[in-house]
Amino acid sequence: TVRDNIAFALELRNVDAFTRAELADRVIELVSLQGYGDRLPGDLSGGMQQRVG
At 27 the pLDDT is 94
At 52 the pLDDT is 87
pLDDT exceeds 90 at position 53: no
pTM: 0.82
pLDDT exceeds 90 at position 4: yes
Cβ neighbours, 10 Å, residue 2 = 23
User: How many domains, the chain?
Assistant: 1
Q: How would you label 4-38 residue by residue, b for 16+ Cβ within 10 Å and e otherwise?
A: eebbeebeeeebeeeebeeebeebbeeeebeebbe
Expressed as residue numbers, the domain containing 41 is 2-52
Q: How far apart are CA 13 and CA 36, in angstroms?
A: 24
Under the banding of pLDDT at 50, 70 and 90, the label for residue 20 is very high
* Average pLDDT rounded to a whole number, residues 16-44: 94
pLDDT exceeds 90 at position 16: yes
Q: How far apart are CA 30 and CA 33, in angstroms?
A: 8
